[in-house]
Homo-oligomer: A and B are copies of this chain.
């Protein structure tokens, strides 16, 4: 046991520090975690500060752990102190009048959503990992998900936060106000910086009124070219109530609606694209009428080939379950998964080119595409019958390479982590990366916070 680990046990208690296999087993993870030196589980912000102070003095790398549901190896902690927020998972306060909730960073997203609902309020962030992902992780990765088109990403949902800097300094910036231009908005630095600039320990979240109506439909569309105008017309016709516009390419739809998948097809197979539409408004009876009329207009114009409207909450859940059943891609495993962003104008050419390039090299390859089209965000899952590093690099080169010509992003919502750092320069120019380095060195001169993540050069440059 290293001196540092011993010291951490003395400061935080034996129970707070797990070593060896004990640490690596502390809960599931969606990616490689490596072998951390120890897993340290503070119970208070003061303890997080103590951990960082000691690690800073020792030059010891620290990797923050939330729900570890990230998809880019942002929590890979080989040889590092894994700082797990799992014991800082409390809701501290709900201010129903002010529509804010203050939580510890380790609080699970779903817990937050349910607590808001119990007060007649609504926290709009929604993503597949909702049952495990934590608010701290959502902040560190600027999480997106299903309702960005209406409510924005995590950045738009956070009013204030408390963070501990690399040297242990606690910066409490727990703003509760919607508008506060008193100096720099420091929280912005920590949001989306993947734990490389500070460890978020608490946050003040902005809540919304609980929507009084929910309407959902599932559409079949023949040809990508029709999707942009459907999106525009639906967005316009539904006023401010459109809350999701999720597109599935035909083969993904087929995958999630045929056994062994549990889901059943609400519309026949064979169309090129399917769209899940969700709207949340103020009056169920009225909004349903409007919702049906807006869709009927598109059907009449021939934009939509077929449509089904959910008639109950259960039917709504079943539609979301199709979209969420991403794990069906095991049927084309081994797979490589991608999260890219590009202009809607470029999507058809881009996805066709990626598919063609994969088929040219691997004639039996499969490419599943779905995503938050309203936000310009697509998820691509490629199965080429080869899970080797060489195959990964070749697939990455096809998927990411195509983004360079259309100013797309190699990461729409998953972050860069370890997995995409070689491709950061595809979406950011040298001056941008240099400026990120200026920030990193200003806040973490010893490069102890999640070192090696984001930056192409492990030294944080």
Contact = CB atoms under 8 A, between A and B. Distances in A.
A239 interface: yes
Contacts of A342: 177
A438 B443 contact: yes
B431 A170 contact: yes
Contacts of A264: none
B436 A183 contact: yes
A456 to B, nearest CB: 10
A142 interface: yes
B240 A409 contact: no
A416 B237 contact: no
A55 B189 CA distance: 28
Interface residues of A, number: 94
Contacts of A188: 155, 185, 188-189, 191
Given A172-B429, A235-B209, A442-B439, A182 B410 contact: yes
A435 B171 contact: yes
Interface string A151-176: 01101100000000100011111011
Contacts of A148: 178-179
A300 interface: no
A406 B150 CA distance: 31
Given A176-B343, A209-B235, A439-B439, 13 more contacts: A95-B343, A142-B181, A178-B375, A179-B412, A182-B410, A183-B416, A183-B432, A183-B436, A184-B189, A184-B436, A185-B188, A210-B236, A240-B280
11 contacts: A95-B343, A97-B344, A180-B411, A180-B427, A184-B189, A184-B439, A185-B192, A189-B189, A209-B235, A212-B236, A283-B290
